[in-house]
Structure 1
C-alpha cells in the first residue's frame, strides 16, 4: 500500500530518530501530500536537512509543546497518519518525574484524544525495549519474541512512563472517531538505536577520547544485546505506516506491539562502540572497572548519597543500579513477527550500518577533541 497523497504528522521530528523517519518519508517515490513536523525545538542543522529534501511533498514546521491541547488539535486537523516518536529519554534519573510523566504519558494521551477529535485514522507509537526489561534481577532473554513470557513490571521512571504511554496507544485502537471512522494503532519496540547523530555514541566517544582513545568497559562481554541501526528502525515505521493502510494487513497489526531489530551482530553495549570505531584505531578496556556485584552495590551507594544530599544540593550520580543491570543483562529479540505481519525487512545491512556510523564518528572526532580541550582549559 502506498503513502501517496497522505497527510502525515511526525512528532519528535527534530530528534535523532524523528529526523531519519522524515527523511525516508520525503524520499518516497510516490510523494505524500504533506508532512507536518512537530517538536518543541528544531536545531538549525535539522531545518537545513529538511530543506534539502523538500520537493513534491509539502513540509510544515510546527514548533510547540506536546502537552498543549489546542496546539495538538491544530497539528492533527486534516491529518490521516500520526507517527509519534516524541518523548523524554532519561536513563540516569536526570529529569523530574512529573515532567517525565507529563510529556511521555499525558502528552501521548492528549495526542490520542486529538486524533479522535480530528479523525486521524492511523497512529504508530515509538516505544522502547525497556518497557519489557530487563527486570531488577537481570533475568536474561535470548532471541525472544512478542510471545515470550517475562516477569517484569518496569520500576525505573523512564521505562514506566513509556510502558504506560504504550498501553494507552494500544488500548486506543478501535476508538470511534468524531466522523464515525475508526482509529487504528500499533507500537514499535526498538532495541537500542545507533547510527549517525546518536547522542549516546557521541557521549561514549567523548569519554573514550578523555581515556586516551580507549573505550571504557561499562558492560561485560557476555551481556549480549542486538542494537538496531537508526535507518532500519526508521524504515520499520514507514513500512508499518503503509501496512496499516492495507485492510488485510491492518487486521493483524491493530492494537499490537512489535520488537524491531535488524542483523547487527549480538554484542554487548560496550563492544558495539568498539566495533563501530575499531578501524579508527580506538581500543576498549578488557574488563569492568570492578566485579559486577560490586559495581551494582557501588551504584546503589551513589544513589543513596544522592538521595541524602537532595535537601541541600542536587547531585546526579554517573550511574545507577538500574543502568548497571540494563547494560549487563543478555537481552535479544527477533523481528520475525514484524516481518510476518507487515513485511518489515531491514533496509541496511550490518556492514552498511557500521560503515555509515563509523564515517560519521570519524567526521566528528576533530571537533570533539577541540571541544574537550576547550572545556579542560
Structure 2
C-alpha cells in the first residue's frame, strides 16, 4: 500500500505535467494553424488628405511591404500623383508617411475590400503576395493570395475601368526543380514543366491572369497591364540579406560560396516599376510599348554568394563592418533546416529563422542570373549603381540611422531608402502622369 502511494506521488505529478505540455503544444499548433489561414482583417481606410485636383490616383497593393514601401517613397518624390497604400497590415502610426493620401487595411482575397480600395484609382501597382521560403507558409495560402488575390484585383480593375496594372512576379518563374544553372536567361525563356515550388507555380498562374487581362487600345481605352520580374532584392528592411549582414547576424555562407546569383537593390526595382507605368500610356496613337509584356528587373550581372557577404575581403572585417563570414557545410545546413521544418510542423516552434528551410539552403547552391536588356531598352530601366556601391551607401545609411534613432536597429523594419541614390536624378527625371 505504501509502495502504491509512493508511485502515485511520482507518477501523478509527472502525468499532470505531461498533460499540461500536451495542452500547450495543441494550443501552439492551433495558433500556428490560424496564422497559416491568415484571417481576413476588418476593412479600414485612414484618409490623411483629400484627393488633389487633376492628380493621378495611384494605389500600391502591398504598399506596406519591402518593395511596396520603396515604390511609395519614389512616387511621392516624383509628385504629380496621390499615393494610396493598400495592405493586410499597416505601418505603425509613427512610421506612416504624412504625404500618403490614404492607408487602407484590407485583404486582396476579399472582393468587397478590393472594390472599396480601388474606387477612384487610375493606376495599380500589385506587389502584394506571400513568399515561399518560410516554414509557416503553405501552398494553399500562397495560391489563395498570389493567384486568387491577383484574379480579384484584375476583375475589379476591369469593372472600374482602371487604366494601368503593374504586377510584381519573380525571375525564378522560369527555373525548374532540376535547373542548377540559369545564366543570362531573358523573358523569352519558357516556363518549366516542374516549377521549383508552390510559390513559383502560383506566380506563373498569376502572370497568365495579368497578361490575359491586357486590353489597351491605341486610343488608351481598356486596361494596360505588364509583369515585372525582379531578381533577388536587397536593402535595409529586407529582413534577410542586407539586414542580417548590416547587423552581423547569421554571419556565414553555405558551402564554398561560389554559386553566383542575381542581386539588385530594391530602389532599382521600385524605379523599374515606375518606368513601366510611364510606358503603359499610348504615344502617337500606338499601343503602349510595355503593354502585355514581361520585364526582368535585375542587376544583369551575377555576384558570388561569398563575395556579397564580404568573404573575399582582405583583413579580418568585411565591408559590412563585421567579421568576415565563415562557411558551414551544405549537409549541416540542410540537416538544421530539416530540423527547423519538422519542429515547426510537429510542435509549432521555429528553432531558427522562419526563412531557414531546405529549399532556401538548396537555392544557395544554384547559380542564376537574368538578362535585363528588354527593360533597359523599352523602359529606360537601370540598376542605378553597382552592387558594391549600393552596399557602401547602405552601411552609411545604417550607421546614421542607428546613431540618430537606435530603436530602428532593434526593429529592423523601417524603409530607409538611401538619400544618396534618390538624389542622383534617376527619379526626378521621370516626372509626369503615372
Instruction: Give the TM-score band, short-chain normalised.
Output: 0.7 to 0.9
> Is residue 7 from structure 1 mapped to residue 57 from structure 2 by the alignment?
yes
Cα deviation 1:73-94 (Å, max 9, x = unaligned): 1222222211001112231331
> Is residue 257 from structure 1 mapped to residue 278 from structure 2 by the alignment?
no
8 Å Cα contact 2:337-2:361 kept in structure 1: no
**1:199 match: secondary structure:** coil
Aligned to 2:92: 44
Moved more, 195-204 or 158-167: 195-204
Aligned to 1:375: none
**2:214 match: secondary structure:** coil
8 Å Cα contact 2:245-2:320 kept in structure 1: no
Provide structure 1 residue ranges, at least 5 long, that are not aligned to the other structure.
373-377
**1:7 match: secondary structure:** strand
Cα deviation 1:42-80 (Å, max 9, x = unaligned): 2237744x22xx2xxx71221211122112112222222
**1:13 to partner: Cα distance:** 0.9
Given candidates 145, 150, 156, the residue that maps to 1:108 is 150
Aligned to 2:260: 224
Taking a change above 3 Å as real, the CA distance of residues 274 and 110 of structure 1, as seen in their structure-2 partners, is same
**1:123 to partner: Cα distance:** 0.6
Aligned to 2:83: 35
Aligned to 2:278: 242
Distance in 2 separating the partners of 1:199 and 1:300: 18
Aligned to 2:380: 343
Could you say which structure has the larger radius of gyration?
Answer: 2
Aligned to 2:47: none
8 Å Cα contact 2:235-2:242 kept in structure 1: no
Taking a change above 3 Å as real, the CA distance of residues 299 and 258 of structure 1, as seen in their structure-2 partners, is farther
> Is residue 156 from structure 1 mapped to residue 197 from structure 2 by the alignment?
yes
Distance in 1 separating the partners of 2:94 and 2:174: 31
Given candidates 169, 174, 181, the residue that maps to 1:140 is 181
> Is residue 182 from structure 1 mapped to residue 218 from structure 2 by the alignment?
no
**1:225 to partner: Cα distance:** 1.1
| 1:87-102 alignment, distance < 5 Å | 87-102=129-144
Taking a change above 3 Å as real, the CA distance of residues 370 and 142 of structure 1, as seen in their structure-2 partners, is closer
TM superposition score normalised by structure 1 = 0.79
**1:370 to partner: Cα distance:** 7.2
Taking a change above 3 Å as real, the CA distance of residues 361 and 47 of structure 1, as seen in their structure-2 partners, is closer
8 Å Cα contact 1:9-1:79 kept in structure 2: yes
Moved more, 351-360 or 221-230: 351-360
**2:347 match: secondary structure:** coil
Aligned to 1:64: 106
**1:25 match: secondary structure:** helix
| 1:71-82 alignment, distance < 5 Å | 71-82=113-124
Distance in 2 separating the partners of 1:149 and 1:371: 40
Aligned to 2:49: none
The alignment yields a C-alpha RMSD, in angstroms, of 3.3
**1:368 to partner: Cα distance:** 8.8
Aligned to 2:419: none
8 Å Cα contact 1:100-1:158 kept in structure 2: yes
> Is residue 314 from structure 1 mapped to residue 348 from structure 2 by the alignment?
yes
Distance in 1 separating the partners of 2:107 and 2:410: 34
Distance in 1 separating the partners of 2:227 and 2:411: 38
Distance in 1 separating the partners of 2:201 and 2:124: 23
8 Å Cα contact 1:206-1:368 kept in structure 2: no
Distance in 2 separating the partners of 1:98 and 1:160: 11
**2:112 match: secondary structure:** helix
Distance in 1 separating the partners of 2:393 and 2:295: 26
> Is residue 279 from structure 1 mapped to residue 319 from structure 2 by the alignment?
yes
Cα deviation 1:307-326 (Å, max 9, x = unaligned): xx84x523557543322221
Taking a change above 3 Å as real, the CA distance of residues 150 and 140 of structure 1, as seen in their structure-2 partners, is farther
**1:329 to partner: Cα distance:** 0.7
> Is residue 200 from structure 1 mapped to residue 248 from structure 2 by the alignment?
no
**2:296 match: secondary structure:** strand
